Structure 1
Amino acid sequence: MSALSLAPRALYEEVAELLRQKIFTRELEPGSWIDELKIAEQLGISRTPMREALKVLAAEGLVTMKVRRGAYVTEVSDKDLRDVYHLLALLESDGAGTVAKHASDEQLEALQDLHQQLCAAVNDRERFFDINEQFHVQLLSAADNRWRQQMVTDLRKVMKLNRHHSLFKTGRVQESLHEHQALMDALLAHDGQLSAQRMREHFANGLEAAS
């Protein structure tokens, strides 16, 4: 009985992840209508897991439900972007300060390893973006506050909706790398205040490039 009750949940979560990736890769563009029937048909599923998946994405802010019009991929306004970056700067700078003061040598070594991978990926923007995200996830994991991690995870999903990602602006990859190096130096020096400041600067510069 329990196995049967888990199956629908697993299915709609799989559908939600599939749609999430279609949104992030711009296969489903911001502002575009999501054809539930067509996608359900393509996937060979009923509309029930499709609707449940859309509810999950709506809760994450990736999808907007409009009365009698259906589901649309959320469009991020300039204010939305500023608000998201503002909150990320607050949450992740606090996390960086915590890591600088309390992280173990092993945790700092893991961050340093990711930073080195970031340096090696400077000429591959897609890989740079992926490792950059891994670095921020690893830092928050080391900060060990699951509530902050959950909030940041949701905010970063909305940030990915930005049509022109900041890292693709000319020169932004190199700038971001320098900012990561400054942050890494502060973390390794166990300077909580400076680490928090470096992270705030990183997000301020990211917002400027994204706007």
Structure 2
Amino acid sequence: MARTSSAQRFVRRSSGNDAALYIRRLIFDGELQPGERVPQDELAHELGVSRIPIREALIALENSGWVTIELHRGAFVNALDEQAVRDHYELFGLVYGFAAKRALARRSPGLQDELAKLADAINHTDDPEELESLAISFHAAITGAARSPRINVVLRAMSGLVPGNFFELVPAAIEGERRGLTAIVRAMKRRDGDRAATEYLRMMRRQGDNVVTVLRERGLLEGAASG
């Protein structure tokens, strides 16, 4: 199976999690198409691993809807369900919104100033790597200030749908993140937890729309015609 340069950028991996990321990127880049059988031996060879991490990856990918494993036949790539994608980002919005309310209740000193600085930095860069780092720091500041281990457990269970730099692969998400974080900071400064939660949910819904658009363009949604 020929690989394009986008897939070849991945270094050799060893864990099931990294193998899952590699396979998701092949699907996202269209190198593994919906309905296609996942070539486990070839992937193991490409990554320089045994088939064990590949099998672990496929089990995880089946649980998250990327593939279906058929007994004695192997794993086959699924088309993604549009509503499931939207639900994924809706849940992110609900969890982060809850975290924002909890963070305000905890009255963490300096939180609003930290969030404002991060949002301002996001508004003044177009570099996808820097944007991703700043956005992660913003959301981490919220969850850290919430001081709720259960929130972190829930978020860790929700793996990202976009296998790579979110803002590079979904360019429309940049403006959505800027608008959303600015509104969240405004609400946090007013100590309005309900408004902060509403703005988080609104932002994540927009990001879900942006991801759906990209997946549809790549022919990865059920009923979408591949280009």
Q: What is the TM-score with the length of structure 2 in the denominator?
A: 0.68
The answer on whether the counterparts of 1:100 and 1:190 sit within 8 Å (CA) in structure 2 is yes
The answer on whether the counterparts of 1:179 and 1:198 sit within 8 Å (CA) in structure 2 is yes
C-alpha root-mean-square deviation of aligned residues, in Å?
Answer: 3.2
Aligned to 1:88: 92
Structure having the larger proportion of residues in helix: 1
Rounded Cα–Cα distance in structure 2 between residues aligned with 1:112 and 1:30? 42
Rounded Cα–Cα distance in structure 2 between residues aligned with 1:109 and 1:120? 17
Amino acid in structure 2 at the alignment position of 1:135: F
1:150 aligns with 2:183: no
Q: 1:108: Cα distance to partner?
A: 4.1
Aligned length: 194
Amino acid in structure 1 at the alignment position of 2:118: L
Aligned to 1:189: 190
Rounded Cα–Cα distance in structure 2 between residues aligned with 1:73 and 1:112? 42
The 3-state SS of whatever aligns with 2:49 is: coil
The 3-state SS of whatever aligns with 1:105 is: coil
**Cα–Cα, structure 1 residues 95 and 52, in superposed 2: closer, same or farther, change >3 Å?**
same
The 3-state SS of whatever aligns with 1:92 is: helix
Aligned to 1:160: 162
Rounded Cα–Cα distance in structure 2 between residues aligned with 1:160 and 1:145? 26
Q: 1:37: Cα distance to partner?
A: 0.8
1:115-167 Cα shifts (integer Å, max 9, x gaps): 2331232x23454244324422332233233333232333342x326xx9894
Rounded Cα–Cα distance in structure 1 between residues aligned with 2:112 and 2:202? 20
Aligned to 2:207: 206
Structure 2: which 5+ runs fail to align? 1-12, 213-227
Q: 1:22: Cα distance to partner?
A: 5.0
**Cα–Cα, structure 1 residues 58 and 209, in superposed 2: closer, same or farther, change >3 Å?**
closer
The 3-state SS of whatever aligns with 1:34 is: coil
The answer on whether the counterparts of 1:103 and 1:143 sit within 8 Å (CA) in structure 2 is no
The 3-state SS of whatever aligns with 1:104 is: coil
Rounded Cα–Cα distance in structure 2 between residues aligned with 1:202 and 1:194? 12
**Cα–Cα, structure 1 residues 151 and 64, in superposed 2: closer, same or farther, change >3 Å?**
farther
The answer on whether the counterparts of 2:14 and 2:47 sit within 8 Å (CA) in structure 1 is no
**Cα–Cα, structure 1 residues 187 and 52, in superposed 2: closer, same or farther, change >3 Å?**
same
The 3-state SS of whatever aligns with 1:112 is: helix
Q: What is the TM-score with the length of structure 1 in the denominator?
A: 0.72
**Cα–Cα, structure 1 residues 179 and 17, in superposed 2: closer, same or farther, change >3 Å?**
same
Aligned to 1:176: 177
**Cα–Cα, structure 1 residues 94 and 39, in superposed 2: closer, same or farther, change >3 Å?**
same
Amino acid in structure 1 at the alignment position of 2:142: L
The 3-state SS of whatever aligns with 1:65 is: strand
**Cα–Cα, structure 1 residues 63 and 199, in superposed 2: closer, same or farther, change >3 Å?**
same
Range 37-46 or range 17-26, more displaced = 17-26
Q: Find the partner of 1:35 among 39, 49, 52.
A: 39
